[in-house]
């Protein structure tokens, strides 16, 4: 029975890939296909195709934009030359916009679905998922189409919404989703069950996930709101709602993952090993690694952070994140754009062709809660305890022995709570260590917001004096939504000198 269910699930996901991937854009000529599909059929594919972009493309870009990943110049000619030279154009990682903008349309379709039956769980989970991805679109691009998006033939040229307004809309959507899930008729509601390839229909966890995304939105816009009375009023109302005793967030052991039935075959492998692992059927075979595996390794900056060179404290996560390459006797890094041979991915990142994909880890949530308590956004909880729970959760997820790390690091500036004057620096630096390789895009965004970790070196081959703070609108927008995107008058300099609204520094 288990095998049959797995096969059926794979078939359902395959159908959605074929039927839905091209019906999400506004100019979709095939709308009748998706109109005939029930949410049960659409949901697995909606979750899976968006997650693939997040786990592979976005994760990879983020790790390259901060000093987490370097290139293997000994075995690949000029690895990541475009990324390390900061050659930002309208084609630079345009798949992030093109994929998320269109494929989140599946969630919108479920939200607006008029099929008979009580689909409140599907609709609520879709609102939460869409909010998750659209926060990243704002954090990477700023103003984006939102209120007029996903109307298919009804509006081929959606207007752009102000980025602050989109944030507010996402918070309202999350509130609606929580209400919809919490207050539905439990006797008639249709359970998601195995059609939910993220949480297997655990609606309490969906609510915790929603609260955590909402908290992240609030934390990001909190400093901006202090100088905007209307936004501050709205935010204070939302903060009050999160401080109710019944509200819970993702906690220890609460990783949000996805696995629709990943398998060690072509086209069905989990996104991270598919990009940074091995050829299908060759997992662990050093002679059949992917280009991403061969081209990528840690930076010297990161390795020296973890092996104690920079901090005086050995961090055992290093040997789980990275592994020896070739004849190496110790884990080595390379500078970004340098000529060295960095080590390869370790078992904490790369352990199986069918491994779960991470959407949001418990450690990320705990670091977020620590910051929120420290800033007074959350009125209960202990900021240091949450910070240390997050570190412990990180070690546990990576399968690393924490040993005496919490004690040894506590008085070390930059990585320990008591030893760091600015507690935000300790939180974000530890988050950078934890999410490097798992959610690189989050580490880039958090660096843009906070400036931590500090003293990160720029790539050897860039002529820019600072890191980019955003992506540029893609070629597809200039070709298909010309009138709405052209007034932004973006150039390559926009990626460096026009920050997202929450970057008030």
> 148-202: per-residue pLDDT in tens?
999 988 899 999 999 999 999 999 999 999 999 999 999 999 999 999 999 999 9
Range 298-317 average pLDDT? 98
Q: What is the pTM of this model?
A: 0.94
pLDDT of 40 above 50:
yes
Domains observed in the chain: 2-262+356-497 (1.25.40.390)
Q: What is the CA radius of gyration of the chain?
A: 22
The sign of the CA dihedral 74, 77, 83, 84 is positive
Res 33: pLDDT: 59
The string of DSSP letters for 21-48 reads TTS-STT-S-HHHHHT--HHHHHHHHHH
* 10 has pLDDT over 70: no
- From the CB of residue 280, how many other CB atoms can be counted at a distance below 10 Å? 17
At 366 the pLDDT is: 98
The tokens for 242 are 């999160």
> What count of other Cβ atoms lies within 10 Å of the Cβ of residue 39?
23
Work out the pLDDT band at 6, boundaries 50, 70, 90: very low
Strand partners, 345: 322
Q: Which of 291, 279, 272 is nearest to 359 (CA)?
A: 272
pLDDT in tens, 461-480: 999 999 999 999 999 999 99
pLDDT number for residue 447: 98
What pairing do the DSSP bridges indicate for beta strands 144-145 and 160-161? Answer: antiparallel
Rounded CA separation 474/96 (Å): 9
pLDDT digits (tens, 9 = 90+) for 360-382: 999 999 999 999 999 999 999 99
> How far, in Å, CA of 105 to CA of 178, rounded?
20
Asked if residues 178 and 132 have their Cβ atoms less than 8 Å apart, the reply is: no
Separation between Cα atoms, residue 125 and residue 223, nearest integer Å: 29
Contact between 247 and 198 (Cβ < 8 Å): no
Spatial CA neighbour of 119 closest among 174, 197, 46, 185 = 185
The pLDDT assigned to 491 comes to 97
- The phi and psi torsions of 289 (rounded to 5 degrees) equal -85, 160
Count CA atoms within 13 Å of residue 144 on its CB side: 30
Backbone torsion region of residue 324, taken as left when φ is above 0, otherwise alpha when ψ lies between -120 and 50, otherwise beta: beta
């Amino acid at each position: 029975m288990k095998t049959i269910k797995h096969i059926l699930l794979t078939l359902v996901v395959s159908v959605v890939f074929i039927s839905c991937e091209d019906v999400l854009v506004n100019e979709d000529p095939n709308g009748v296909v998706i109109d005939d599909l029930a949410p049960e059929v659409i949901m697995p594919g909606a979750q899976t195709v968006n997650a693939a972009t997040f786990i592979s493309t976005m994760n990879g870009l983020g790790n390259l934009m901060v000093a987490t990943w370097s290139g293997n110049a000994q075995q690949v000619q000029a690895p990541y030359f475009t990324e390390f030279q900061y050659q930002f154009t309208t084609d630079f990682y345009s798949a992030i916009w093109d994929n998320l903008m269109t494929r989140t349309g599946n969630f919108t379709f479920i939200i607006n679905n008029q099929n008979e039956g009580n689909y409140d769980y599907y609709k609520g989970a879709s609102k939460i998922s869409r909010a998750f991805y659209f926060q990243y679109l704002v954090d990477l691009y700023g103003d984006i189409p939102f209120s007029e998006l996903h109307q298919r033939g009804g509006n081929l040229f959606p207007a752009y919404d102000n980025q602050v307004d989109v944030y507010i809309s996402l918070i309202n959507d999350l509130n609606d989703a929580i209400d919809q899930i919490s207050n539905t008729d439990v006797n008639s509601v249709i359970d998601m069950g195995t059609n939910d390839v993220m949480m297997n229909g655990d609606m309490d966890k969906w609510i915790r996930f929603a609260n955590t995304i909402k908290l992240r939105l609030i934390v990001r816009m909190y400093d901006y709101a202090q100088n905007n009375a209307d936004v501050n009023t709205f935010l204070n109302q939302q903060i009050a709602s999160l401080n109710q005793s019944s509200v819970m967030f993702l906690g220890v052991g609460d990783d949000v993952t996805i696995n629709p039935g990943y398998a060690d075959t072509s086209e069905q492998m989990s996104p991270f090993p598919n990009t940074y692992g091995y050829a299908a059927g060759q997992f662990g075979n050093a002679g059949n690694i992917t280009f991403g595996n061969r081209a990528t390794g840690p930076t010297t900056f990161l390795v020296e952070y973890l092996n104690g060179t920079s901090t005086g404290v050995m961090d055992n996560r290093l040997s789980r994140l990275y592994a020896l390459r070739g004849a190496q006797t110790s884990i080595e890094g390379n500078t970004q754009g340098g000529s060295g041979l960095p080590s390869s991915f370790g078992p904490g990142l790369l352990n199986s062709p069918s491994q779960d994909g991470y959407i949001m880890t418990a450690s990320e949530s705990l670091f977020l809660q620590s910051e929120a308590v420290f800033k007074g956004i959350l009125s209960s909880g202990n900021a240091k305890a949450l910070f240390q729970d997050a570190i412990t959760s990180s070690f546990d997820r990576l399968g690393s022995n924490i040993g005496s790390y919490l004690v040894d690091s506590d008085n070390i500036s930059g990585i320990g709570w008591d030893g760091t004057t600015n507690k935000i620096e300790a939180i974000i630096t530890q988050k950078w260590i934890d999410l490097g390789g798992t959610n690189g895009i989050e580490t880039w965004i958090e660096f843009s917001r906070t400036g931590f970790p500090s003293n990160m070196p720029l790539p050897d081959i860039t002529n820019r004096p600072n890191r980019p703070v955003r992506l540029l609108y893609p070629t597809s927008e200039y070709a298909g939504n010309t009138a709405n995107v052209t007034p932004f008058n973006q150039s390559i300099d926009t990626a460096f000198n026009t920050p997202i609204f929450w970057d008030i520094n």
